[in-house]
Amino acid sequence: MASARPAAFLFDLDGTLVDSVYEHVLAWREALEQVGIALSVWRIHRRIGMSGGLLINALLRETGAEISARFVEELQRGHADAYARRSAQVRPLPGAKELLEHLTANKVPWAVATSGRMASARPSLNAIGVDPSRAPVITRDQVEHAKPDPDLFIAASKQQAVDVADAVVVGDSAWDLLAARRARALGVGLLSGGTAGKNSNARERIASMRTRAISFVISTRSVCAAKRNHTAPSSLRPRATATCAVGERSGTAPLIPRFGKRHSV
C-alpha cells in the first residue's frame, strides 16, 4: 500500500511564528497620526494580516479620507520606519523555533508566507533563526497580490514542489484563512495574533477545531493514498464524510469538513 504523502506546512509570520502584531498595530497608528488621521488601535488590529496597500485602503474608507497613490506610499513609508524602530522588541512565539526545527529534522516540507515585505520581515525571520537564503520564505515582494488573495501560499507551495491542496496553512488572522480557502488548502487558525471570539469559550473551541482538523488531514491523506492503490482498509476511513478533494485537485471546491456545531468565534 502506498504511504501517505506528508503534508506541507505553510506558516504566516507575524502573530503566528513571532509576537509582532502589536508592534505593527502601533506602527500603523503612528504613520496614520503623522498624516492627521486618528484611529483606535482596535480598528487597525482587525486589519493586520492584509497587505499594506489593502490595509490602508480599508482603514481610509472608514475615515472617508481621499486615497491617492502618493498618500498610500507615504503611509507605507511611515509604517516601515515606525516598525523598524520597534522591531528589536519582537520575540519568537513559544515553540515556534522548535516546531520548525522538528519539521526540518523529520523532512516535512514547510515554508513561511508573509504579507510583509522582506525589509520588515527580516528582523522577525532572524528572531526565529530562519535565513531566507537557505529556508523557503515568500514575501509581498515576490507576488502580485497579498492576503487575502492566495498568491503567497501558492508561491510557497510551488517553491516546495508540492500541490497547494496538499498543504496546511497556519495563520492567526481571518485573512490567512480566507487566503487558504481560496488556495484550496486546509487552514488552521491560531489565537496568538491577539484576536478572540465573542465569549470565553472561543479559545477552547478553536483549539478543539484545530486538533480535529489536523486529525482529519492525516486520516484523509491516508485514505487518498490507499485509494490510489485501491486498497483502502475500513480502519483508515475518517469519521467525517469526505472525499480526496482534500489533498487532490478536482473540478470543484474542496470539501470543508464540519466538526460539530458551528460557533461564532
CA atoms within 13 A of residue 225's CA, in its CB half-sphere:
15
Residues 117 and 197: their CA atoms lie apart, in Å, by 29
Q: Kindly state the cell numbers that stand for 4.
A: 501517505
The grid cell for 98 is: 522548535
Quote the mean pLDDT of the chain: 76
Nearest residue to 141 (alpha-carbon basis) of 125, 130, 132, 152: 152
For residue 188, give the DSSP letter. Answer: E
pLDDT digits (tens, 9 = 90+) for 2-48: 455 557 999 999 999 999 999 999 999 999 999 888 888 898 998 88
Q: Report domain 21-89's class.
A: mainly alpha
The set of cell numbers assigned to 261 is 456545531
Higher pLDDT, 57 or 79: 79
pLDDT-derived band at 234, boundaries 50, 70, 90: very low
* Residue spans in the chain of domains classed CATH 1.10.150.240: 21-89
User: In this structure, which topology does domain 8-18+91-236 adopt according to CATH?
Assistant: Rossmann fold (3.40.50)
User: In the predicted model, what is the mean pLDDT of residues 190-208?
Assistant: 54
Look up the pTM and report it: 0.70
Could you give the residue range(s) of every CATH 3.40.50.1000 domain in the chain?
8-18+91-236
Place of cell 515553540: 95
pLDDT in tens, 143-177: 999 898 999 999 999 999 999 999 999 999 888 99
